[in-house]
Amino acid sequence: MSGRFDGKVAVVTGSGRAGGLGEGIARRLAAEGATVVISDIGAPADAATPGSMTGSSAEMDAIAASLPKASTFPCDVRNPEQVRALARHAVDTHGSLDIWVNNAGIGYIMKPMMEVSADEWRAVIDVNLTGAWYGLQAAAEIMIAQGKGGRVVNIASQAAKSGFMHAQAYTASKHGLVGLVRSASIELGAHGITVNNVCPNHVTTGLGKWQNEHFAEVQGISVEKYLANMAARIPMGRPGMPEDTAAAVAFLCSDEAIYITGESMNVSGGEEPH
């Protein structure tokens, strides 16, 4: 790789699950020279964070150990004190904070609108939108103090642009990220800090596999048929891969993207046109 992130320190939330989107992003940044802080919730905190959808401490340690320069820091992004502590860890341990990727998210509470409880709605908004706000604020505070600019990237979704069945809270949270970067970029531009979203279409990680099975069952078809139908509507002929999103994140974190801010970049193989 190019080494374009040599000397940079990056935090990636929700990066502690093997095979997850966050891990893919962390590995791409590390491959280009970044020191990476691997962060995840560490253990299920409640019914909204099942163990199958969170990165354990052991998984975080294993991912970090496989990277050239990395550390770990458990963090529940719903807790602003923990998020600020994560930001401080980057500086105290590695000397700087240059890149912050808000990747942690809930995408497995999906059901008909009339069946969604208040607690489920709140859990999705708290992680996907409010958690990203906490991360943006904590990162910006340090980046402003450092005086050398920085990059903040949120992993939004195709659901930031279009609606989907059984995904009212998820879609609302991701649409909210569009407004967040549009407003934050206005205030942070003077400090040389860019704020953008990456909006991938479906990516079959562990969460994506669960979504495949869920929506195939809802539609009364096999998972294989569901995936075939998905591929047929995507101009590039396939769903997204973690590498696709990671490449977009790396670009937005690079010097090449210094004049791009407040944007929500589609990475959908042409499926999402707006």
Indicate whether 46 pLDDT > 60.
Answer: no
| pLDDT tens column, 200-222 | 998 876 666 767 787 788 888 88
**228 and 216 Cβ atoms separated by less than 8 Å:** no
Q: In what order do the strands lie in the sheet with 99-102?
A: 70-72, 35-38, 9-12, 99-102, 150-155, 193-200, 264-267
The predicted pLDDT at position 77 comes to 97
User: β-pairing, 264-267 with 193-200?
Assistant: parallel
The predicted pLDDT at position 228 comes to 87
Mean pLDDT along residues 106-135: 95
For the chain, domains (ranges, CATH) are 9-202+241-267 (3.40.50.720)
On the 0-12 / 13-18 / 19+ scale of CB atoms within 10 A, 189 is middle
| pLDDT tens column, 65-88 | 999 999 999 999 999 999 999 999
The predicted pLDDT at position 221 comes to 86
The predicted pLDDT at position 43 comes to 67
Degrees to nearest 5, angle at CA 65 with 68 and 77: 100
| pLDDT tens column, 24-44 | 999 999 999 999 999 999 865
Residues paired with residue 216 on neighbouring β-strands, in sequence order: none
Q: Please tell me which residue in 134, 170, 226, 259 is annotated as part of the active site.
A: 170
Indicate whether 52 pLDDT > 60.
Answer: no
On the 0-12 / 13-18 / 19+ scale of CB atoms within 10 A, 31 is middle
Place 231 in a pLDDT band, splitting at 50, 70 and 90: confident
170 is catalytic: yes
Q: Please give the Cα distance from 138 to 220 (Å, whole number).
A: 44
Mean pLDDT of the chain: 92
User: β-pairing, 150-155 with 99-102?
Assistant: parallel
- For residue 171, what are the contacts with CB-CB under 8 A and spacing of at least 6? 159, 160, 162, 163, 164
> Which residue has better confidence, 44 or 245?
245
| pLDDT tens column, 154-188 | 999 999 999 988 999 999 999 999 999 999 999 99
Q: What is the DSSP string of 69-137?
A: SEEE----TT-HHHHHHHHHHHHHHHS---EEEE----------GGG--HHHHHHHHIIIIIHHHHHHH
**234 and 241 Cβ atoms separated by less than 8 Å:** no
For the chain, percent of residues with pLDDT exceeding 70: 93
The predicted pLDDT at position 97 comes to 98
The predicted pLDDT at position 80 comes to 98
Q: Helices 168-188 & 131-146, crossing angle to 10 degrees? A: 20
**12 and 22 Cβ atoms separated by less than 8 Å:** yes
Mean pLDDT along residues 263-271: 95
Q: Please give the Cα distance from 272 to 274 (Å, whole number).
A: 6
The predicted pLDDT at position 56 comes to 81
Q: Please give the Cα distance from 140 to 87 (Å, whole number).
A: 10
Q: How many CB atoms lie within 10 A of CB 241?
A: 17
The predicted pLDDT at position 219 comes to 86
Q: At which residue do the structure tokens 């080494």 appear?
A: 3
Q: Please give the Cα distance from 187 to 112 (Å, whole number).
A: 38
Q: What is the DSSP string of 247-272?
A: HHHHHHTSGGGTT--S-EEEESTTS-
The predicted pLDDT at position 53 comes to 55
- For residue 55, what are the contacts with CB-CB under 8 A and spacing of at least 6? 14, 15, 16, 17, 18, 20, 22, 38, 40, 41, 42, 63
